């Protein structure tokens, strides 16, 4: 635990004093002087760490003995044809009325020796992302270039608000299809449903719908769903209610997760969340565009996930190409070819 390290939003946290593998410490009202880092996998494995030392750093402090990452070898959990079959099966479930949308993903796996701390520094320089984060303890090491905010909590003297910012829709040139817009609106409705029980009656709104954001190498459609939190709501309730994010499951969430479980036995940190809680505020990301190691499961492997949202209007070949697009730039950064 002494070697635990966290960076996000200019906060670098070290000197861990408490560590938990459940959300239990977040069931109480937290001291605003405390700094907590929270990591959750797609499957619901949690790491909650309270740090004694927090400093302001624009970038993560460099590793004293970095290993240069090069000549990395990656294998996909699905071949092109297997992934296309997955897409076709999702479309069949949509035809049957079991789901409306499913986020179909695959993992890239590498047995190469990869220094994720050094890789995260390369990401900060070559692929800056608004929800990027680094975390390491004895369970996980994570280097995330996530563009997606799962949720933010803001606090004033007499109220707290929560804003979720789901991303659905990806393109190389900023031009989107009708399918992208429909997918985004569907997930906005899901997030409104997820957030509403946490919020004051009538306070949930959508201040931004189908906003276009430019990120390194691609564009996204992003919406915001906002509400005023009930005074009694804890961070444990927020994370339990909202996780995993609707943007990386599908709709309805329970049906989408059932379909995903047939094809994807493990996502790990990919499509989970990373975040911090401090001073009555919080920021959590959706862990996409993320490299990670799971030391308890497969200590020798590094993973990177990529996926696409599947609707009835999806074309299997195009969805495979979208997973390639999302991975392309970060794979090049990892191999030192950007």
Residue 268's Cβ-side half-sphere holds a number of Cα atoms within 13 Å equal to 24
Q: Residue 21 pLDDT more than 80? A: yes
Is 252 inside a domain boundary?
no
pLDDT in tens, 80-92: 999 999 999 999 9
Confidence of residue 64 (pLDDT cuts 50, 70, 90): confident
Is 273 inside a domain boundary?
yes
CATH code of residue 53:
3.60.120.10
Confidence of residue 322 (pLDDT cuts 50, 70, 90): very high
Q: Residue 2 pLDDT more than 60? A: no
Q: Kind of pairing, strands 218-228 and 160-164? A: antiparallel
Is 11 inside a domain boundary?
yes
Is 87 inside a domain boundary?
no
| Span 192-216, average pLDDT | 96
59-68, 181-190, 259-268: lowest mean pLDDT where?
A: 59-68
pLDDT in tens, 111-129: 998 999 999 999 999 999 9
| Span 291-298, average pLDDT | 96
Share of the chain above pLDDT 90, in %: 87
Is 92 inside a domain boundary?
no
**Dihedral sign of CA atoms 214, 195, 306, 302 in order:** positive
Confidence of residue 68 (pLDDT cuts 50, 70, 90): low
Is 179 inside a domain boundary?
yes
179 as an active site residue: the answer is no
Share of the chain above pLDDT 70, in %: 97
Of 136, 141, 168, 179, catalytic: 168
Q: Which domain holds residue 17?
A: 5-61+111-242+267-300
Strand partners, 208: 224
Q: How many domains does the chain have?
A: 1
Is 12 inside a domain boundary?
yes
Of 93, 122, 141, 148, catalytic: 148
Is 222 inside a domain boundary?
yes
Q: What is residue 189's predicted lDDT score, i.e. its pLDDT? A: 95
Between 169 and 82, name the one with better pLDDT: 82
Q: Residue 229 pLDDT more than 70? A: yes
**Cis peptide preceding 2, ω within 30 of 0:** no
148 as an active site residue: the answer is yes
Asked if 27 contacts 236 with a C-beta cutoff of 8 angstroms, the reply is yes
If DSSP states are collapsed to H, E and C, what string results for the chain? Answer: CCCCEEEECCEEEEEEEEEECCCHHHHCCCCCCCEEEEEECCCCCEEEEEEEEEEECCCCCCCCCCCCCCCCCCEECCCHHHHHHHHHHHHHHHHHCCCCEEEEEEEEEECCCCCHHHHHHHHHHHCCCCCCEEEECCCEEEEECCCCEEEEEEECCCCEEEEECCEEEEECCCCCCHHHHHHHHHHHHHHHHHHHHHECCCCCEEEEEEEEEEECCEEEEEEEEEEEECCCCCHHHHHHHHCCCHHHCEECHHHHHHHHHHHCCCCCCCCCEEEEEECCEEEEEECCCEEEEECCCCCCCEEEEEEEEECCCCCHHHHHHHHHHHHHHHHHHHCCCC
- Residue 64: how many CB atoms within 10 A of its CB? 6
């Amino acid at each position: 635990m002494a070697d635990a390290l966290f960076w996000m939003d200019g906060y670098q946290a070290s000197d861990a004093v408490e560590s938990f593998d459940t959300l239990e410490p977040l069931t109480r009202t937290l001291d605003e002087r405390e700094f907590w880092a929270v990591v959750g996998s797609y499957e619901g494995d949690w790491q909650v760490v309270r740090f004694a030392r927090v400093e302001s750093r624009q970038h993560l402090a460099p590793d004293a003995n970095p290993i240069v990452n090069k000549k990395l070898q990656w294998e996909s959990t699905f071949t092109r044809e297997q992934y296309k079959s997955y897409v076709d099966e999702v479309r069949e479930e949509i035809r049957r009325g079991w789901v409306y949308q499913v986020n179909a993903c695959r993992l890239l796996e590498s047995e190469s020796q990869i220094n994720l701390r050094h890789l995260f520094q390369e990401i900060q320089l070559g692929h800056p992302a608004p929800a990027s984060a680094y975390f390491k303890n004895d369970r996980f090491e994570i280097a995330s270039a996530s563009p997606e905010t799962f949720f933010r909590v803001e606090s004033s003297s007499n109220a707290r608000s929560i804003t979720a910012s789901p991303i659905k829709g990806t393109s190389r040139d900023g031009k989107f299809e009708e399918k992208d817009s429909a997918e985004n609106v569907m997930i906005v409705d899901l997030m409104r449903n997820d957030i509403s029980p946490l919020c004051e009656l009538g306070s949930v709104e959508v201040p931004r719908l189908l906003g276009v954001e430019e990120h390194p190498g691609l564009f996204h459609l992003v919406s915001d769903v906002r509400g005023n939190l009930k005074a009694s709501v804890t961070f444990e309730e927020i994370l339990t209610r909202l996780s995993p994010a609707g943007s990386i499951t599908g709709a309805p969430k329970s049906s989408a997760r059932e379909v995903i479980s047939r094809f994807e036995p493990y996502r790990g940190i990919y499509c989970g969340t990373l975040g911090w809680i401090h001073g009555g505020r919080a920021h959590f990301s959706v862990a996409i565009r993320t490299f990670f190691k799971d030391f308890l499961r497969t200590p020798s492997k590094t993973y990177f996930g990529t996926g696409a949202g599947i609707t009835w209007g999806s074309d299997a070949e195009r969805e495979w190409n979208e997973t390639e697009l999302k991975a392309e730039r970060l794979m090049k950064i990892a191999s030192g070819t950007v």
